Structure 1
């Protein structure tokens, strides 16, 4: 099983988080994925991502991400068309059949919603909230995830994971905002085309009117809004035209039209383009924050399991043992899916305690024997490993390290207590398992129950 070749930082982080969300409902069978990721990557974060990629392929997350890449552009285009149709409707209102346009009302109609959404996005940068900023971008993600076209069973979890990852990395306003600014940019381009065509092919009379406001208000409003467009070459009506719009000639009407086009181009299109470039730059700069959170309890558990798979280092090797290490352990068949391993059992203990089609091995517990067993397990990881220990003995840190490392190399692990004389023996081992990192190891005090567990699929 090979992982889907999706290696962008966002894809890695989102798929890893999605696997975590799936495992919140119960751990996945990951023996093979653990072994493959352990062998494929050298560092802990890389192994966690590799494991998620392998499990994600099995869950269809990699295929779902690829589906998003194919459908995402279409969804963004559809949302852009929705905004464009809304803008076109506003343009039709502005350039209606009446041939008379209230320029201030047109200014508010064309730029009002844009200004409101822009202010909300800017506010999300100052007061970050889980769902703040870039509403159109969030809608694009949710629509892409929920489209029924070849949708996978975990599409919703992947969408939630993507939002979680972007929020944790403080990239949500930039990612979703960038998509929103792109949609608005496209809508303003088409809106300007519609306005330019309307003003070019039809004659309009542009004016202003009010009931409670003074003429001086409109003079100051047009001058203030026209200051920047005028610096960029757009015409602005003069004071006489502003104070007496009804007497304005053709040149004054052209100045009104250029003022309106300039305001839409500068305060609409140019602002969205600049914000989009800002989002792109901040996204590129902040992608490093998508790295794995090594303090997350879920990640720490995985790192502990990978650490347990590291081969044991032999310290103070007995020089009398000149034979090769592999000779200390009887070779297991390549097809052995189950192991029964005796660990530090007294010489008088009957061996093996269970009879069956599995590989049996007994070691005294020397450093060389432990290293040889771990090497054999790593070479051919079994589906199940049952370790038989002496119940009256007290487990120590050396026993815990060996059991942890051996169990990390098997799909499932159990512990069989032999020679228990009283219930306190089993209770001591049970408490030891629960206190350490071996809580998932199956503890057996009866040989019959252990055999049934070992034989089960």
Structure 2
């Protein structure tokens, strides 16, 4: 009996799946995730792991995990097809430039036919690497990604887009696609080398060069200059007399034929194969190194909102979350003019407590406790249509501030005439270090210490101030 594989909640594929879920929710709206959120809260201690666990459970349910599992062998199949085409193309190019042996081989045209397109594509790759952009990685890598993405349905396109987005933010796309591009060129040049060796071993060729305006000395310098580096690896280079003989049409000696053949093979090996091999190794090394250190960017909108929702409803005293690495994109606005007159008390992710809500002053209204993403959207819509004159946001000092909470407070503050934050003592004193963390985070977000209440009576007095 086959048992389903448990969802993967760590490693590169898990982050790939999390990105696919994020893009799905960005495009189509939030997924129903109550069970996944509860599982994430209980099974992990840090934010990224909670996001990965939630994504693993939602990805299995929505079919994204299966789409990723199906995309990988399909992409490998397309890569294998392109590899076979590259080998055969290189072999065919060697047969084409050498011909059937009935005519001498023009060494310049032969070398251009074997290395010209390779060198031109290499120049384009270097330019794309320098300029960056979406075409970085090489044309062959882009072609492979296009085939793998387009020929597999919508789900296939979504997971490929998620992979490209994940690698792109880490700067790994150029090395990932560069590995494919240089690998395919390496195979094409291997095919060309095989074609050269087979053809030169099976037929007898003469070698010539032809020109109307250039002197023989120019070709001698060209042949010997190009052959210097291959000569360091043991390949032969035609001497001046052999070059003169090839240019004048004099029948070449056997040694001259061997020297020309060795020079042609050496040029393909050193300026073709070795260059692509070194670049392929460079791309593989940088890609694998970057992939090992890849993490989710929890500052992205989808992840920033999740961070608050995935935090456990209670935490052990003395354990403090990491300080937010990215403050809200817009600062908290403590005061600006609005036409409303209402005073509103709002609780942000408060743990249930018999002391809540407190007795409100006349004219103040309790907007309840905001905990879920849907509740956040609803309260923002309500405040946008009917902004209150005063808004008192109550935060639980027993929990630690995070990016999602600070971002939401900043959004709320833009829909109220005056905004203050209350860290109530009536809930419990909590951890003094957490209170200090709240004050510092709010200050860095634009809310000065005078706008943060810790005295319960002062907070409620401010909420009821000015009531007729």
Report the secondary structure of 1:24's partner residue. helix
Q: Label 1:249 to 1:65 Cα distance change in 2 as closer, same or farther (>3 A).
A: same
1:78 pairs, out of 74, 78, 81, with: 81
1:394 pairs, out of 347, 364, 377, with: 364
The 1-side partners of 2:364 and 2:134 are apart by: 50
Aligned to 1:240: 241
1:284 pairs, out of 274, 284, 288, with: 288
More deviation, 137-146/196-205: 137-146
Q: Label 1:274 to 1:395 Cα distance change in 2 as closer, same or farther (>3 A).
A: farther
Matches within 5 A, 1:404-423: 404-405=370-371, 407=372
Matches within 5 A, 1:143-292: 143-148=147-152, 151=153, 153-245=154-246, 246-247=249-250, 248-288=252-292, 290-292=294-296
Q: Label 1:261 to 1:297 Cα distance change in 2 as closer, same or farther (>3 A).
A: same
Q: Label 1:30 to 1:242 Cα distance change in 2 as closer, same or farther (>3 A).
A: same
Aligned to 1:455: none
Shift of 1:133: 2.2
Shift of 1:144: 2.0
Q: Label 1:163 to 1:295 Cα distance change in 2 as closer, same or farther (>3 A).
A: same
Report the secondary structure of 2:105's partner residue. strand
Report the secondary structure of 1:154's partner residue. helix
Matches within 5 A, 1:360-375: 369=354
The 1-side partners of 2:206 and 2:377 are apart by: 87
Count of equivalent residues = 354
Unpaired runs of 5+ residues, structure 2, are 319-344, 380-385, 394-406, 413-468
Aligned to 1:104: 108
Aligned to 2:44: 41
The 1-side partners of 2:140 and 2:22 are apart by: 27
Q: Label 1:275 to 1:254 Cα distance change in 2 as closer, same or farther (>3 A).
A: same
Shift of 1:63: 1.4
More deviation, 290-299/260-269: 290-299
Q: Deviations over 1:391-443 (max 9, x none)?
A: 977367xx86xx235x58xx989999xxxxxxxxx97599889975999xxxx
Shift of 1:299: 1.4
Contact 1:120 1:133 in 2 (8 A): no
Shift of 1:28: 1.4
The 1-side partners of 2:116 and 2:265 are apart by: 15
Aligned to 2:58: 55
The 1-side partners of 2:68 and 2:124 are apart by: 29
Contact 2:230 2:266 in 1 (8 A): yes
Aligned to 2:309: 305
Q: Label 1:295 to 1:227 Cα distance change in 2 as closer, same or farther (>3 A).
A: same
Tell me, yes or no, if structure 1 residue 123 matches structure 2 residue 123. no
Aligned to 2:117: 113
The 1-side partners of 2:351 and 2:177 are apart by: 58
Report the secondary structure of 1:233's partner residue. coil
The 2-side partners of 1:367 and 1:390 are apart by: 18
